[in-house]
A and B are shown apart, each in its own frame.
Chain A
Amino acid sequence: MKPNIKIPDFSHTAVVDQVGIEERASRFTKRSIKNETKMNGLLLALNMIDLTTLEGKDTVGKVKQLCTKAMHLHKAYPGLPTVAAVCVYPSMVGVAKKALGDSGVKVASVSTAFPSGQAPTQVKIDDTKYAVENGADEIDMVISRGKFLQGEYNFVFDEIALIKEICGDARLKVILETGELGTYDRVRKASDIAMYAGADFIKTSTGKISPAATMPVTLVMLEAIRDFYYKTGKKIAMKPAGGISKAKLALHYLVMLNEVLGEDWMNNEWFRFGASSLANDLLMQIMKQKTGIYQSSNYFSID
């Protein structure tokens, strides 16, 4: 965090009108993405994926397979990009790191007692330290939603700032779990707190709560990022996660990103999709674009 950034009073953050933001979000879906724009968008979306497995039943074998998929998305189409990162629990960071080697695919680890965040601060610190020490390039922390809803914004702020320190060089993604916050006004407030506290990314959801990412909630966060950028000159990255499994929807998100933050954000340093099944749908659409023939899932590997 730059020392010259003035921390605002979080009891007064920008307000959001629900009907207006949803109208605006649906307007992006009216864009018709064709031909080369579509192909570029599909490839870009593929390259923005945080390929994710976050299950109690995750094993070394599962994570290794996922890492192979991350590096070799579809062998029938040489020259495809890789995904951006593989996202796992801290216990699997070492496995993933080794499997991905020097492929350039990053390892992201959830932490801070993901997904609920209901643990003592020391546990969250240790959780994060463990992931970082095992080689995580990125940390996906959760905010304390309970404290946030109690109005203890300083607690939430301090916790994010603390985890940021522990991250060191790892980039910090702050998960707001928007599905538990209830209103867009609170999503906006949580976004502001996260960014001012040092988040490199703000992220919608854990994927464990419904609703997860939606276009309007992502738009609220993108607009928060834009306002933060206007004020401080500092770019913050965005990661919608959960619920984005279709190529068409991913393209809508990219249209939205492009029209809210512009082309400087149109790469995987500044935007990610947290998703598990999106990759194959993108691949099917890419092959359709390439061959002109509608595809079957039987021809795309499920790892």
Chain B
Amino acid sequence: MAKDDKKDNTLKLKFDSARNLAPAPESKSIAKIKPQYELFINGSFVKPESGKYFDTINPATEEKLSQVAEASPADVDKAIKSAKSAYQKVWSKMPGKERAKYIFRISRMIQEKAREFAVVESLDGGKPIRESRDFDVPTAANHFFYYAGWADKLNYAFPTKTPRPVGVASQIIPWNFPLLMAAWKIAPALATGNTVVLKSAETTPLTALMLAELIQEADLPPGVVNIITGAGETGAAMVSHPDTDKIAFTGSTDVGKIIQKAVASTHKKVTLELGGKAANIIFDDAPLDQAVEGVINGIFFNQGHVCCAGSRLYVQESVYDIVLRKLKDRLETLIVGDPLDKNTDIGAINSRGQLETIQKYLKIGVQEGGEIYQSSCPLPKKGFFCSPTLFTNVSQSSRIAQEEIFGPVLSILTFRTEDEVIEKANNTPYGLSAGVWTDKGSKIFNMTTKLRAGVVWANTFNKFDPTSPFGGFKESGFGREGGLHGLMPYLHLD
């Protein structure tokens, strides 16, 4: 429950009516989810060698949606061999402009089936339909469209160099943006002439499997894209397979390090897009209402399951009170609930395990002396939900200010001067993203050049675009996805 600031009692704005809207659910009937999914290998859906399947559930209801195959090392071997054969026989020989047409086709077909993808994404992963409909799915389609155009223009990308594909790319994606991450991985790999084995995350396999069906429908040559499902063991088999030439991983820094170590004795090319603990910095001359909105989107977008989430808020002391008040009022208007309701702002936490992790950090935050403030929005009785949460009285040494929580939890810290906040913002092993809010242009450039992060948003936050490279400094990984720079990880430059 929200704790009222005593001094503000008389002036409190009331938002109950703003949250209590009549239900506006998106129709589930458009989602044709099969009771069971197989592995997509060499152009067809095949049963796993092990005969094993695992359930995928709707995190908002805890009900089973479907069961999917668990790929064993033998299945991984099959998938990688088919990718290798397709690479050698078909894909590496195909002219770029022909590859491009296949990739354009995939993009268009995603657009055609956009609403179905969005509904399945929200059912399987818990994200609000507003986000899967307006962000995940269109951005995924756009990513394919963008890279399709590169396929026959690679010679223009790197002056004096002759680009050459790497071979078979083993790609492992997380559960926070299942379809979009698949697009981020597959699109540049295909455009540059590589073939792919992609493994979706254990808790969110369905849209990747729908993509597999779409790729089959698009008539892509068998084996060029293989999509398999499974957990960590499946991923490990992909990483260690001798015919894997390139590994692209998005996920936790811990797993990224395991992968990096596993391939130390090989010449496999690796790109890692890992964790973050982004600083979002508000100066006293900022457009405060837009800054508050940016902070809200920065931390509560996709329930905070975002590696570049603005999870550390630094507010200049002279505007701390007003910013906090605006944040609290904005927090009250957020609707937490059924991901399929078009009015939901914050959907379900992706899995029970992740909910437990977040709850652990909430306890730690309180134990460390942080002052917790949560929205008074009631949570659904069933499913995995977490109230949007602010922590004040947080210091640089608090664990909730240092460790990636990957949930709707914002740690608020204060600062006095530019130097101080630059030092504090960079005081982390991560370096994925950062945000800065000020009306003064010269200060923006001072900040954006000194913040050690791969993406810096000034007077905006959490913006993504296929043309815009994304990726981290330091322990947030290496390699870029998006834009011209996103081609590099999939090419040898001779």
Contacts and interface: CB of A to CB of B under 8 A. Distances in A.
A and B touch in the complex (CB under 8 A): yes
B332 to A, nearest CB: 8
Interface in A229-264: 229-230, 233, 255, 258-259, 261-264
Nearest to A219: B289
Given A32-B342, A37-B22, A229-B11, A17 B134 contact: no
Contacts of A33: 21-22, 24
Contacts of A258: 15, 17-18
A30 B322 CA distance: 27
Given A16-B290, A230-B11, A259 B333 contact: yes
Interface of B: 10-11, 13-18, 20-24, 130, 134, 285-290, 293-294, 322, 325, 329, 333, 342-343, 439, 459-460
Given A20-B460, A223-B289, A258-B17, A32 B333 contact: no
B22 A264 contact: no
A266 interface: yes
A229 B8 CA distance: 11
B14 A263 contact: yes
Interface residues of A, number: 32
Given A263-B18, A264-B13, A20 B439 contact: no
Nearest to A226: B13
Please provide the 6 A-B residue pairs with the shortest distance between their CB atoms, ordered closest to farther: A20-B290, A32-B24, A262-B13, A32-B342, A37-B22, A258-B18
Chain B CB within 10 Å, residue with most, of A20, A33, A229:
A20
A17 to B, nearest CB: 4
A21 B290 contact: yes
B17 A266 contact: yes
Contacts of A17: 287, 290, 459
A123 interface: no
Interface in A256-281: 258-259, 261-264, 266
Contacts of A223: 289
A32 B18 contact: no
A7 interface: no
Contacts of A64: none
Given A14-B287, A16-B290, A20-B460, A263 B21 contact: no
A261 B13 contact: yes
Interface in A14-69: 14-17, 19-21, 23-24, 30-38
A292 to B, nearest CB: 16
Interface of A: 14-17, 19-21, 23-24, 30-38, 223, 226-227, 229-230, 233, 255, 258-259, 261-264, 266
Given A34-B22, A36-B22, A263 B130 contact: no
Q: Which label, helix, strand, loop or mixed, suits the secondary structure of the A interface?
A: helix
Contacts of A30: 130, 134, 342
A21 B21 contact: no
B293 A24 contact: yes
B14 A264 contact: yes
A20 B459 contact: yes
Given A16-B287, A259-B15, A263-B17, 10 more contacts: A15-B286, A17-B290, A20-B293, A20-B460, A31-B342, A34-B22, A226-B329, A233-B10, A259-B333, A266-B17
Contacts of B333: 259
A35 B18 contact: no
A17 B325 CA distance: 20
Contacts of B289: 14, 16, 20-21, 24, 223
A15 B319 CA distance: 14
Contacts of B17: 258, 262-263, 266
Given A14-B288, A21-B289, A32-B24, A233 B11 contact: yes
Chain A CB within 10 Å, residue with most, of B13, B16, B289, B294:
B289
Given A16-B289, A31-B343, A32-B342, A262 B24 contact: no
Contacts of A230: 11, 322, 325
A263 B16 contact: yes
Contacts of B294: 20
A262 B293 contact: no
Contacts of B459: 17, 19-20
Contacts of B134: 30
5 contacts: A14-B287, A16-B290, A33-B21, A34-B21, A230-B11
A238 to B, nearest CB: 14
A60 B439 CA distance: 52
A263 B15 contact: yes
A34 B23 contact: yes
